Structure 1
């Protein structure tokens, strides 16, 4: 009697099917986790920009002073990139108020973030997000 060694095609196909099922479950969950951790880029950039605008307000008594570098960077619809280049920061500046918006950059993983979408932050500290989770994104 001869002993055979190796795998049959059926055994190999069962392993491939199991790997396919695991991948189908794990990959979307992995992408959600990546999107969730990348949201920190928007939050950090918004908070940093807000702090810089607050320093301008403390110095010049208005947010949109021409002497304020960050206000000049954001005037007339201009944007600045977030730290990881996953979001662009835009602002609606007035003398005594501002609203900052972080919009996901097209072509990044964040562009398909339907749970949070755009993040907003105002001079009063009001936080918001455009997706299904809303304020819970913060």
Structure 2
């Protein structure tokens, strides 16, 4: 039946196939995107830890101790503006050592690959997981 004036369009089956394909692509793409976003936030936290470590070293070169070094105003969170994804703290402060930690907050807590990041005065990096090379 070839009707010259018949309206041509998509059948319901063709439309459902297209919707299924889009659904599959979204199911694959969204988690990959979210993982990339978490990795970028982790990179910012690592950069902030290294920057604070440099400030601590500068403090020690002047005062010959880490005692008394405090996180500069606004540097206790990462990123410094906008939504906080990591809280940064300094602990175990003595004359010769300290430990910086970046603890995930909010949606960043879903970053099960690394969790809490750490950096000490000797430059030793740590993470909540055993595979530090994937985190740092």
TM-score, L = length of structure 2: 0.85
CA positional deviation for 1:73: 4.0
RMSD across aligned positions (CA): 1.8
Unpaired runs of 5+ residues, structure 2, are: none
The partner residue of 1:114 within 106, 112, 115 is: 112
Task: Note if contact 1:127-1:135 (Cα within 8 Å) is conserved in structure 2.
Answer: no
The partner residue of 1:130 within 119, 128, 133 is: 128
In proportion to residue count, which structure has more helix? 1
Alignment correspondent of 2:59:
56
Task: Note if contact 1:64-1:95 (Cα within 8 Å) is conserved in structure 2.
Answer: yes
Alignment correspondent of 2:97:
97
Q: Does 1:24 align with 2:24?
A: no
Residues 48-67 of structure 1: CA deviation (Å, up to 9, x unaligned): 111111111001011122xx
Aligned residue-pair number: 127
> After TM superposition, which residue ranges in structure 1, 4 or more long, deviate above 3 angstroms?
none
Q: Radius of gyration: which is bigger?
A: 2
Q: Distance in 1 between matches of 2:59 and 2:71?
A: 13
Secondary structure of 1:88's aligned partner = strand
Q: Does 1:81 align with 2:77?
A: yes
